[in-house]
Amino acid sequence: MLLLLACGPRLDVAPAADDWSTEGPGGPAVSFSEAELGEPCAYLLGQEGEAEHHNLVVMHDGYLFMPWAPEDGGGGISWFDVSDPCAPVKVGEGFHEAMRETHTLAFGEVDGREYLIVDSIWDEGARGGIGVFDITDKTSPEWVGELDLPGFFYPEAYFWVSLSTFWQGDVLYVSTGLLGVFLVDMSDPTNPTLLSDEAVKVPTQVTGSFHVIGNLALASSAGSSATSTFDVSDPLDPSPLHTWDIRDSTGDAVAYYFANVGGAYALFARKAQGGGPIVYDLREPLEPPFVGDALNLEADGGYVFRHEDVLFQGESEFASIYSFDDPSNILELFRFELQGDLDTPTPIGNIAVLSVDSGAAPGEATAMVPWATEPDGRGPVLELTSPSDGDIHVATTGRIGLSFDELLEVRSGHLGSVRVWDEDGVLIPGRVQVQESLVNFTPDDELVSDTSYFVEVPAGGIADSSLNAMAETVRFAFSTGAEVVEWPSD
């Protein structure tokens, strides 16, 4: 029910949408010929002698950020200037013996310092969980905190270990296979503590990831077909909404290796008996419908990413680009080759960063490979919000989440690029965090009951890996009561 206002309150002035900057130059700014596409033009490595076990990369502060660590520990993090991706320049690096293979990159800022969460391992696998790097000075990152998780055990690589993390506000969600999802208090990143000794039990069996979009979470498995959506409007008490098996276009349940979120869609990398992406629509979280798939019989899926109207998926023996301009008709467009277990092709502008986690040719664990002739010039598009426009009875403990159609620059998330007011026009203070293609706003204080809130995501704010900002402003409103006050007229 809408309560219409003729003019409405005057909104407090918010910071400028473009009131942010990066130290580095951003993503690739080089053009390529058609003949250069698909061919590695440079390789990235961490410190000399590292295990050459690589996977996900992201853009952070205008630099390419790359973790490098094997499953059994001993690894680090590096930043590169990739404005000329064929002549990358390393600008910072750190190492810690307890860092293990890390599948997601959760960043957060607390009291003016910036932190990164990685997976950790101790005592030859008898202990482990998460580790914390202070990355405020990227030329000298420092290991400042760690937390052992109950039940951790390696070498059971998927069952009893930390597999991924997601940081929203003061809460870190840690997916740990059969153990479930642990909730960790990150208000002091140098001393992370469990919010409960018991992990949240997830019907997905081997929980591989827990993506959080405001009050909605997608809990996905690592190696089975089971999947769940969760209500996380009370971040300390996640509640299952719907559990289902991922099915392909034939209706058969299909195992997948890992899942991701891109805009309005949940993306699943089919494994065993073929590869290729399977896509569901998250705009109906109570029962997400199947949208489309592609079956690649020569493949065995790894990790999947969206970049605007294409999907990138690692397929073990190779990696593929798939069309996504029509999500109901997904087609393979191109293949990349790189020696080793090619699980991770990360799209960064017009470069695919191909990474293998075993069997790499010496010095070639991560390759910079052009996939488009011209640098990326289009900004990200917002496709999904939580709460949605017009939602009522939103919990006062709720947060605001935004899901975009491509990977984002972490620095672009700030209080000018995500603005929230109450129905009296008072600007709500909070924290904005970016993780891959997702943005979350966490209010400093709980929302007020029976109150409407106005959200604006302005043009020129949130930006992609190449520092292209949103082209169009998005506005929506929701209420913690039974009615939503309409956006004030301009």
CA-based nearest residue to 336, from 360, 313, 359: 313
What is the dihedral sign for C-alpha 173, 432, 269, 388?
Answer: positive
User: Is 319 found in the same domain as 226?
Assistant: yes
The enclosing domain of 456 has a CATH number of 2.60.40.3710
User: Is 118 found in the same domain as 211?
Assistant: yes
> Per the domain annotation, does 411 fall within a domain?
yes
User: Is 323 found in the same domain as 218?
Assistant: yes
CA-based nearest residue to 401, from 174, 186, 217: 217
> Per the domain annotation, does 470 fall within a domain?
yes
Beta-bridge partner residues of 336? 319
Cβ neighbours of residue 260 closer than 8 Å, sequence gap 6 or more: 209, 211, 266, 267, 269, 303, 304, 305, 306, 436
User: Is 349 found in the same domain as 389?
Assistant: no
> Per the domain annotation, does 187 fall within a domain?
yes
Q: Are 232 and 213 in contact (CB under 8 A)?
A: no
Distance of alpha carbon 134 from alpha carbon 143, whole angstroms: 6
> Per the domain annotation, does 24 fall within a domain?
no
Task: Count structural domains, the chain.
Answer: 2
Q: What is the DSSP secondary structure assignment for residue 300, as one 8-state letter? A: -
Q: What is the DSSP secondary structure assignment for residue 374, as one 8-state letter? A: S
Cβ atoms < 10 Å from Cβ of 198? 12
Within its chain, how far is the Cα of 7 from the centroid?
A: 38
> Per the domain annotation, does 30 fall within a domain?
no
Chunk the chain into consecutive blocks of 10 residues (it has 490) and report each block's average pLDDT, rounded to whole numbers. Answer: 53 96 97 98 96 96 97 96 98 97 95 97 95 96 97 90 97 96 98 96 90 98 95 97 96 96 98 95 97 97 98 97 98 98 98 97 97 98 98 98 98 98 97 98 98 98 98 98 89
User: Is 119 found in the same domain as 229?
Assistant: yes
**Parent domain of 152:** 36-370
Q: Are 143 and 132 in contact (CB under 8 A)?
A: yes
User: Is 385 found in the same domain as 358?
Assistant: no
User: Is 157 found in the same domain as 275?
Assistant: yes
User: Is 284 found in the same domain as 241?
Assistant: yes
Helix %, strand %, coil % for the chain, to 5? 0, 45, 55
> Per the domain annotation, does 157 fall within a domain?
yes
User: Is 167 found in the same domain as 245?
Assistant: yes
pLDDT at 4: 39
- What are the backbone angles phi and psi of residue 182, rounded to the nearest 5°? -85, 145
Within its chain, how far is the Cα of 426 from the centroid?
A: 30
Distance of alpha carbon 486 from alpha carbon 126, whole angstroms: 56
The enclosing domain of 244 has a CATH number of 2.130.10.10
**Is cis: bond before 387, omega within 30 of 0?**
yes
pLDDT at 6: 37
Cβ neighbours of residue 221 closer than 8 Å, sequence gap 6 or more: 204, 205, 206, 207, 208, 227, 256, 259
CA-based nearest residue to 361, from 343, 342, 346: 342
Among 300, 335, 370, the domain boundary falls at: 370
pLDDT at 1: 34
Q: Are 97 and 157 in contact (CB under 8 A)?
A: no
User: Is 252 found in the same domain as 117?
Assistant: yes
Half-sphere exposure of 8 (CA within 13 A, CB side): 22
What is the dihedral sign for C-alpha 135, 141, 145, 147?
Answer: positive
Within its chain, how far is the Cα of 109 from the centroid?
A: 16
Among 313, 335, 370, the domain boundary falls at: 370
User: Is 330 found in the same domain as 304?
Assistant: yes
> Per the domain annotation, does 272 fall within a domain?
yes
> Per the domain annotation, does 28 fall within a domain?
no
User: Is 426 found in the same domain as 337?
Assistant: no
Among 370, 396, 430, the domain boundary falls at: 370
Cβ neighbours of residue 105 closer than 8 Å, sequence gap 6 or more: 56, 58, 60, 65, 67, 116, 117, 435, 436
Distance of alpha carbon 60 from alpha carbon 380, whole angstroms: 16
Distance of alpha carbon 345 from alpha carbon 327, whole angstroms: 20
